[in-house]
Amino acid sequence: MATLTRAHEELFKRDPDERYATLPELIDHCKATREAAQDRWLDHDQINITSDMNVVLDGDPDHQFCDWSFSQLCQMAGVSRSTINRLSHKTASRALQETMPTSEKPFQVLTSGNRIRSIHGVAYTRLWNEELLAAVAEAAPGFTAPQQAIGGSTGLYCGEQDMFAFLIDPTGWIEINEQSFAPGFFVWNSEVGRRTVGIQTFWFQKVCRNHIVWDAVQVIETSRRHTARVRDFLDVTRSAVAGLVQQRDARRDGLVKVMERAMREKLGDDAETVMKQLQKHGVSRDLGKQAIELAERGNGFTIFSLVDALTQLSQRMKFIGDRTAIDMKVSSLLELVA
pLDDT in tens, 187-218: 999 999 999 999 999 999 898 989 999 988 88
For 106-127, the pLDDT digits (tens) are 999 999 999 999 999 999 999 9
- Mean pLDDT, the chain, rounded, equals 87
Q: What is the mean pLDDT of residues 82-94?
A: 91
Considering the domain architecture, whether residues 173 and 244 belong to the same structural domain is answered as: yes
Tell me what pLDDT residue 256 has: 65
Top-ranked range on mean pLDDT: pick from 101-110, 299-308, 329-338: 101-110
- Domain-located, residue 39: no
Tell me what pLDDT residue 130 has: 96
> Hey, CA dihedral for 276, 280, 284, 290, is it positive or negative?
negative
Could you please report the per-residue DSSP string of 184-216? EEEEEE-TTSSS-EEEEEEEESEE-TT-PEEEE
176-182: long-range contacts, CB 8 A cutoff, minimum separation 24 = 176/255, 176/256, 176/259, 176/260, 176/263, 177/259, 177/260, 177/263, 179/205, 180/205, 181/205, 181/217
Residue 317 predicted with pLDDT over 80: no
Considering the domain architecture, whether residues 172 and 229 belong to the same structural domain is answered as: yes
The DSSP letter of residue 3 is E
* pLDDT band of 338, cuts 50, 70, 90: low
Nearest residue to 214 via CA among 169, 178, 182, 176: 182
> In this structure, are residues 234 and 135 in contact, taking their beta carbons and an 8 Å threshold?
yes
* pLDDT band of 45, cuts 50, 70, 90: confident
From CA 149, how far away is CA 154, in angstroms rounded? 6
Considering the domain architecture, whether residues 195 and 223 belong to the same structural domain is answered as: yes
Strand order in the sheet with 55-57: 37-42, 107-112, 115-120, 60-65, 55-57, 47-49
For 279-297, the pLDDT digits (tens) are 888 888 888 888 888 888 7
Tell me what pLDDT residue 279 has: 85
Considering the domain architecture, whether residues 29 and 137 belong to the same structural domain is answered as: yes
Considering the domain architecture, whether residues 11 and 156 belong to the same structural domain is answered as: yes
Considering the domain architecture, whether residues 244 and 295 belong to the same structural domain is answered as: no
Tell me what pLDDT residue 21 has: 92
Q: What is the pTM of this model?
A: 0.74
Nearest residue to 135 via CA among 236, 244, 225, 35: 236
Tell me what pLDDT residue 319 has: 65
Q: What is the mean pLDDT of residues 172-182?
A: 75
Residue 311 predicted with pLDDT over 80: no
Overall number of domains in the chain: 3
Higher pLDDT, 322 or 242: 242
Tell me what pLDDT residue 200 has: 93
Considering the domain architecture, whether residues 161 and 76 belong to the same structural domain is answered as: no
Residue 1 predicted with pLDDT over 80: no
Q: Which residue range forms the structural domain that includes residue 97?
A: 44-105
Residue 91 predicted with pLDDT over 90: yes
The last residue of a domain, from among 248, 277, 303? 248
Residue 159 predicted with pLDDT over 90: yes
Considering the domain architecture, whether residues 146 and 205 belong to the same structural domain is answered as: yes
- Domain-located, residue 121: no
Considering the domain architecture, whether residues 18 and 48 belong to the same structural domain is answered as: no
Residue 247 predicted with pLDDT over 80: no
Scored b (16 or more CB within 10 A) or e, 76-100 reads: bbebeeeebeeeeeeebbebbeeeb
> Hey, CA dihedral for 87, 91, 97, 98, is it positive or negative?
negative
Considering the domain architecture, whether residues 195 and 296 belong to the same structural domain is answered as: no
